[in-house]
Every structure is written in structure tokens, then in C-alpha cells.
């Protein structure tokens, strides 16, 4: 199958560039997160609430991945973080060469935390290393409680799972314990946060963890 | 770029198989729907509620696409439709050859409506013709009201848009008119249904339309 051979070649080249990005970020003391989820799980809103809380304390830069539009980059800039938008024009995930090009646009001297918001997609982004230190998968209580079992690669590839939209829990059938059990069966080391970007519940714990991460305390 | 050449080759081969599937279904008087959405927008629940209402009237068969698990096929079989599960084991969309193989497992003589539930993904499935007569994209009120603008290919490629989870509208910031305006700007011919699988609101109109579709009345 030529498709597989070439896909592996492209993945190998992606790994090389991702390795270079990681080395460069480590040398500059910058830590990097890659945030992934389904469309509409709340990644951008999570970043807005997170940056509002941490912008006085951390130098945060954001790379926004979307198939189309600059709407998310505009939202993130409005809360005060330097942002570069990548539009993939049809592609379903970010690749390391896109991150390398985006990093060239950022004044890195003032940055100690780089956040990459990937394309809304629970399948493809899991396979693509972007040079990040940590991968975060966001799920929400309105998506159904079967997502870890149905998209296991994403949960195996992540170090952190955030369950968002806690405020909607009373109105949906969502078994939180089942989700956590499924996710931990796939990846026993997963760190789990439950929160609501709407009410603010759970944001303190997430932001405290993120600050520790940014300052190399974990 | 060899990747593009080969991807086009694979897409061309997919078109050939999709054309054969469509011819075969037409010859047997079977109409086919391809249902697509983000993970967790409610495709499977929509099929459960739809099949419960129409199973006495129509011969319905379902092909269930998932990256992993047979959970959705089990849910659909439980409401009484013949179901074949496809597990793509990592692939982010269904392809026509998978549908051809699944159709070989179904007793088509009793079927007049074939429903294909695609992988939960708002990007990749839009590019792959499965031999269907009609494409339906499902969005939900908890996903944010920017999805048509951010994933335009999916809305351009569909003939029907269903907005699900109407019951959660009071608890979220979702501008229904904005979503419809965005979607119709991309695709002015889109037929739109608003419904709640939880309360049943809007299901009558959708099921009446689907019955007309199955009986070649539209």
C-alpha cells in the first residue's frame, strides 16, 4: 500500500521537525501544551478563562489551529495573549511544520507557556507530535459518556483529561465515573480535572496545576 | 507532492466504488443516507428515536461506523434494525469499499432505507462519497454556534442539517439564527430541522421528511 508508506514517511518527517521544536523550546525555557478535543467541547473558552486568570503571572502565547476563520485567535487576543492563527483549509490536524512557521511569528523572549489549540477532532490530531511537553484532551458532559472507549488513541496519547461543562450535568445523562474509569483503563497515568468554564467551578485547580507545569515544578 | 497525487488516486478509486454502490442501490429501490457530525452530537440517539417511530413503516438497515467498539451497533439492533458495525481502527472516516463489504452482510430484499452513521468527525468524512443519495450533518446546541463557519466543507457537502439538543438551549449561549444564517450562506439549499431526541420535539417533521425520502417522494 503506497499510501501507508508515504504516510509513514510524512509522520517520520513530522517527528524530526517536532524534535527540533521541542529542543528549541527547552533551550528557551518554554513549556508547551497541545490541547485537543471534539469540535465544541470548549477549548477556546477554557483558554479564555485560563488566560484571564494567569496573564499577570505567566507569559502566555497561543497558536490557534482551525480549518477556517480567525474567530478563535480574535477571542484569545481579546483576553491579552499573543496569538498566531493557523488555518489548515481542510486539513483535520496540525503538523509540526505549521508550528515551526507559527513560532517564527511570536516574540518568544517574553513567553514561558506556549499553548497550541489543535483542530476540533477526536481522531487525527492524536497521531501528530507537535514538539509539545504535554497533551491535554478536553471532553464535555454533553458529548455522551462513551468517548474514551470510542476514541481510545486520543486518551492513550494524552497526559491530562479535562471534563468540561460540569454546569450542564443536571440536564444530561452522563456517568462521570464511567468516563473516568474508561479513560484510566486506557491510560492509568491520566491526570483528570473536572470543571465548568461557565461557572468557574474547578478552574482554580486546573490553573494551579498549569502554573506548576509552566514553572517546571512538575 | 506525492502525498496529494496518491490521495487523489485513492479518492478517485473511492468515487468508482461509490458509483457502483449507488447504481446497485438504485436498481434495488433502496435509498441511502450518510449521517455525519462531531463526536457526541447525538447521531446514534437520533437513529434510535427515528427507528422506533418508523420501523413498522419502513425496512431500515444501518451501517455503523466507529473507530472502535460495537456499542452503537448494539444500541441500534436493540431498537430493531438490522445493523452492521464497521470498526476503522484509527481511521477518521468511512470509505466506499467499507460500505461495499458491509452491504454484502445485509439482507437487502427487505430494506428500502439504508442509513450510514459515519465516524464522529466534522472534517474528514465530508470528502468521501459512500454512494449515498443524501448527506445529513447533525450539530447540537451545546457545541457552540460557530460550527458552520469553522467547518464549511461539511455544510457545503450536505443536503440536510439537523440541530439537535433543543432541550438544552435554555442553559447554553447558542444563537440559532446565527447558525442557520452561517449554514445557508455556505449552502443555500440546505434543508434544516431543529429537534430534541430527549423530549421528542421536532421528531415528527424529521420522520415525515425521512419517510417521503425513503418512498422517493422527494
pLDDT in tens, A66-96: 999 999 999 999 999 999 999 999 999 999 9
Alpha carbon of residue B116 to chain centroid: 6
* Beta pairing class for A134-140 and B113-117: unpaired
Give Dmax over CA atoms of chain A in angstroms.
Answer: 52
Which of A39, A91, A153 is opposite residue B143, by nearest beta carbon?
A39
pLDDT tens, position by position, B107-134 = 999 999 999 999 999 999 999 999 999 9
Exposure of B123 in the CB half-sphere (CA atoms within 13 A): 23
Please give the angle made by the CA atoms of B129, B133 and B136, to the nearest 5 degrees: 80
Give CA–CA dist A6/A124, Å, rounded: 16
Which of A92, A150, A168 is opposite residue B142, by nearest beta carbon?
A168
Which of A40, A67, A146 is opposite residue B38, by nearest beta carbon?
A40
Q: B118 — contact with chain A (CB < 8 Å)? A: no
Average pLDDT taken over every residue of chain B: 95
Residue among B1, B14, B36, B40 with most chain A CBs within 10 A, to mutate: B40
Residue among A11, A142, A183 with most chain B CBs within 10 A, to mutate: A142
Exposure of A113 in the CB half-sphere (CA atoms within 13 A): 26
CA dihedral for B182, B184, B190, B194, sign (positive or negative): positive
For A56-107, give the DSSP string: TTS-EEEEEEESS-SHHHHHHHHTT-EEEEEE-TT-SS--HHHHHHHHTTS-
pLDDT value at A16 more than 80: yes
pLDDT value at B160 more than 90: yes
Q: Do B142 and A146 touch (CB under 8 A)?
A: no
Q: Which residues of A touch B48 (CB under 8 A)?
A: none
Q: Do B121 and A150 touch (CB under 8 A)?
A: no
Amino acid at each position: 500500500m503506497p499510501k501507508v508508506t508515504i504516510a509513514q514517511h510524512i509522520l517520520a518527517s513530522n517527528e524530526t521537525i517536532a524534535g527540533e521544536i521541542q529542543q528549541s523550546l527547552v533551550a528557551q525555557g518554554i513549556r508547551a501544551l497541545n490541547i485537543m478535543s471534539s469540535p465544541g467541547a470548549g477549548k477556546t473558552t477554557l483558554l479564555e478563562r485560563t488566560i484571564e486568570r494567569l496573564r499577570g503571572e505567566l507569559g502566555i502565547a497561543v497558536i490557534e489551529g482551525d480549518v477556517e476563520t480567525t474567530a478563535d485567535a480574535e477571542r484569545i487576543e481579546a483576553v491579552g495573549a499573543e496569538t498566531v492563527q493557523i488555518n489548515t483549509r481542510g486539513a483535520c490536524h496540525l503538523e509540526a511544520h505549521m508550528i515551526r512557521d507559527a513560532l517564527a511569528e511570536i516574540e518568544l523572549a517574553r513567553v514561558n507557556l506556549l499553548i497550541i489549540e489543535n483542530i476540533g477532532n477526536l481522531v487525527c490530531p492524536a497521531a501528530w507530535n507537535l514538539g509539545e511537553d504535554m497533551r491535554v484532551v478536553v471532553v464535555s458532559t454533553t458529548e455522551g459518556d462513551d468517548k474514551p472507549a470510542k476514541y481510545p488513541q486520543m486518551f492513550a496519547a494524552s497526559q491530562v483529561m479535562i471534563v468540561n461543562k460540569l454546569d450542564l450535568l443536571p440536564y444530561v445523562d452522563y456517568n462521570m465515573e464511567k468516563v473516568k474509569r474508561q479513560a484510566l483503563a486506557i491510560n492509568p497515568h491520566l491526570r483528570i480535572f473536572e470543571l465548568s468554564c461557565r461557572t468557574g467551578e474547578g478552574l482554580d485547580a486546573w490553573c494551579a496545576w498549569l502554573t506548576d507545569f509552566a514553572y517546571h515544578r512538575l
